[in-house]
A = this chain, B = another copy of it.
Amino acid sequence: MPCPYLGMRDGMMSLKEQLDYLFDPRSVAVIGASNQLGKWGFIILARLLESKSGKEIYAINKKEREVLGLKAYGSVVDVPGPVDLVVITVPFQGIIDVMHDCVRKGVKVAIVITGGLAETGGEGARIEQEMVEIARRGGMRIVGPNCLGHVDTHSNVRTVGFLPGVKRGNVALISQSGNSSQSVTKYAGQMGLGFSKFVSSGNEADLHFEDYLEYLGQDDKTKVILGYIEGFREGRRFFELAKKLTKKKPIVIMKAGRTDAGVRAAQSHTASLAGSDMVLDAAFKQAGVIRVEEISELVDVAVPLLGQPLPQGRRVGVLAMGGGMAVMAADAVRREGLEMPAFSPATMEKLNSIMSHRWSRGNPVDPGGDLVSYQALWPMLADENIDAIIITGGVGMIASFPDWVKLPSSMKSRLDEARKRMEGAEIGNLDKTIQLMKKHQKPILFTTHVSGAARRGKVHSKLRSSYLGFYPTPERAARALACLVEYSEYLGIARGE
């Protein structure tokens, strides 16, 4: 489906060509570049320089002769080479002049960080309108205004000042809130998730959420699309695009503004119209869009989507270290509308032979004081009554050697040896587990509350690189699994309820 905006102007660049200039420009100029600590024009230029993209970077500042060690130009028009992308941080009163300059210079895309426009109504809204008209006449596209910038981890062009922890990977994030993206990228970093592209879409005066979605749908480097959204500019286009895309590429959306107070706040934030939440819910379902309730759940769902099979049904087996974890996981599974069936007689027989008489003798499996072992996990994975596994508390050595225990020094070397030996065995067990996961096409969600040793080392690296977890709580794992089940049912992979 073509961008409606493009339909207005024959012979222009395609949306793909335009957004290629955003994500992989030959050169970037910061208009409003500053030596002043804390200014947007300071932090954004510092970030661009730090990320070493190899692109030409220019500083534009009317008063200074040098900014952060770069020669400063009075206007973008004065830059000697071509400028594909600009980042604009000047106050809103100066925006119109800057836009004229950009068009004269032949800039392809302008990221407007500046706020105080449509979201404040009145004068700001008028300026925003004029800004868009200048860009349209000049064949330039606008990201924002009132946005935080963007990141491409492949071209390494990063215009977002405040967004630590964005590693290269296969997830894209489109966000109508800049600051909130920090939650997503920070938690994603902890879960080992990397990004292909990120864009803070702001007020969406010109480029809409739907434009980015269409572009990312065609982007080979993006396997999963995440979105934070407060309102749609082109609702119908969103759902038609989504319907096509979700058949091949999952879309996970956090839609804020669900309550009366939230809708009012969204209106003043990005001047968006929220629409009826229940109607949206139904539309999301019809289009195969995965909707989450809290922003960190975007990451919870993206992790297994990237590296695990989709569940073939809603029947969950739980393996828990400790009875309390077993009870809480069982509660969580049921509250998410998933099932906790009994194991097959064959599985029960195997589990009885593997575990001590203390085990819980049913689903959830609690070894009753012993460590949770992979030997218990494997028959559960093979059980024809089970579609997915949630593990809480860690398996094998992960939980068995907390490194905060200070030992008499005589024992230290024995412990280190044992650690090493067990780490080797653990990696072997994990390999076998991943094979079985693929063979049986059943996802495994690891949950742990154990810090320290569990969060480091080869075992943890392997868990992260295999997209197996860790989730911080069984509740979060169950919620993510419920989303996977729903998506799997939509695709016809899982049997419906």
A residues adjacent to B (C-beta < 8 A): 37-38, 43, 46-47, 49-50, 68-69, 115-116, 119-120, 124, 146, 161-162, 164, 175-183, 186-187, 228, 230, 256-262, 264-266, 268-270, 294-296, 321-328, 330-331, 333-335, 340, 356-358, 360-364, 366, 368-369, 393, 399-402, 404-408, 410-411, 414-415, 418, 449-452, 473, 475
| Nearest CB in chain B: distance from A261 CB, A | 4
| Nearest CB in chain B: distance from A442 CB, A | 19
Give which listed residue, B46, B181, B340, B415, contacts A407 with CB less than 8 A. B46
Q: Are A180 and B322 in contact, with the CB atoms below 8 A? A: yes
| Nearest CB in chain B: distance from A495 CB, A | 20
Q: Are A262 and B473 in contact, with the CB atoms below 8 A? A: no
| Nearest CB in chain B: distance from A484 CB, A | 19
Q: Are B324 and A230 in contact, with the CB atoms below 8 A? A: yes
Q: Are A261 and B358 in contact, with the CB atoms below 8 A? A: no
Q: Are B361 and A268 in contact, with the CB atoms below 8 A? A: yes
Q: In whole angstroms, how far apart are the Cα atoms of A330 and B269 in the complex? A: 12
Give which listed residue, B38, B182, B323, B406, contacts A268 with CB less than 8 A. B323
Q: Are B369 and A115 in contact, with the CB atoms below 8 A? A: yes
Given the known inter-chain contacts A43-B405, A331-B262, please indicate yes or no for A324 contacting B452, CB distance below 8 A: no
Q: In whole angstroms, how far apart are the Cα atoms of A161 and B399 in the complex? A: 12
| Nearest CB in chain B: distance from A329 CB, A | 8
Q: In whole angstroms, how far apart are the Cα atoms of A327 and B231 in the complex? A: 11
Q: List 27 A-B contacts (CB under 8 A).
A: A43-B405, A46-B407, A47-B405, A50-B406, A69-B410, A164-B404, A177-B324, A177-B327, A178-B322, A178-B324, A179-B325, A179-B393, A180-B328, A186-B449, A186-B451, A228-B324, A230-B323, A256-B331, A257-B331, A259-B331, A261-B331, A262-B327, A265-B323, A265-B366, A268-B366, A269-B323, A294-B475
* Inter-chain contacts of A38 with B (CB < 8 A): 400-401, 418
Q: Given A268-B360, A269-B326, list of 7 further CB < 8 A pairs?
A: A50-B405, A69-B410, A120-B358, A178-B322, A262-B331, A269-B324, A269-B360
Q: Are B328 and A68 in contact, with the CB atoms below 8 A? A: no
Give which listed residue, B68, B115, B182, contacts A368 with CB less than 8 A. B115
| Nearest CB in chain B: distance from A416 CB, A | 11
Q: In whole angstroms, how far apart are the Cα atoms of A46 and B415 in the complex? A: 13
Q: Are A415 and B37 in contact, with the CB atoms below 8 A? A: yes
* Inter-chain contacts of A327 with B (CB < 8 A): 177, 230, 256-257, 262, 265-266, 269
Q: Are B330 and A408 in contact, with the CB atoms below 8 A? A: no
Q: Are B261 and A295 in contact, with the CB atoms below 8 A? A: no
Given the known inter-chain contacts A50-B406, A257-B331, A331-B258, please indicate yes or no for A326 contacting B265, CB distance below 8 A: yes
Q: Are B402 and A296 in contact, with the CB atoms below 8 A? A: no
Q: Are B43 and A334 in contact, with the CB atoms below 8 A? A: no
Q: Are B330 and A264 in contact, with the CB atoms below 8 A? A: yes
Among residues of B, the one whose C-beta sits closest to the C-beta of A116 is: B358
* Inter-chain contacts of A256 with B (CB < 8 A): 324, 327-328, 331
Q: Are A369 and B146 in contact, with the CB atoms below 8 A? A: yes
Q: Are A119 and B177 in contact, with the CB atoms below 8 A? A: no
* Inter-chain contacts of A334 with B (CB < 8 A): 259-262
Among residues of B, the one whose C-beta sits closest to the C-beta of A113 is: B369
Q: Are B37 and A295 in contact, with the CB atoms below 8 A? A: no
Give which listed residue, B179, B415, B418, B452, contacts A321 with CB less than 8 A. B179
| Nearest CB in chain B: distance from A162 CB, A | 6
Q: Are A183 and B449 in contact, with the CB atoms below 8 A? A: yes
Q: In whole angstroms, how far apart are the Cα atoms of A300 and B53 in the complex? A: 42
Give which listed residue, B262, B360, B402, contacts A162 with CB less than 8 A. B402
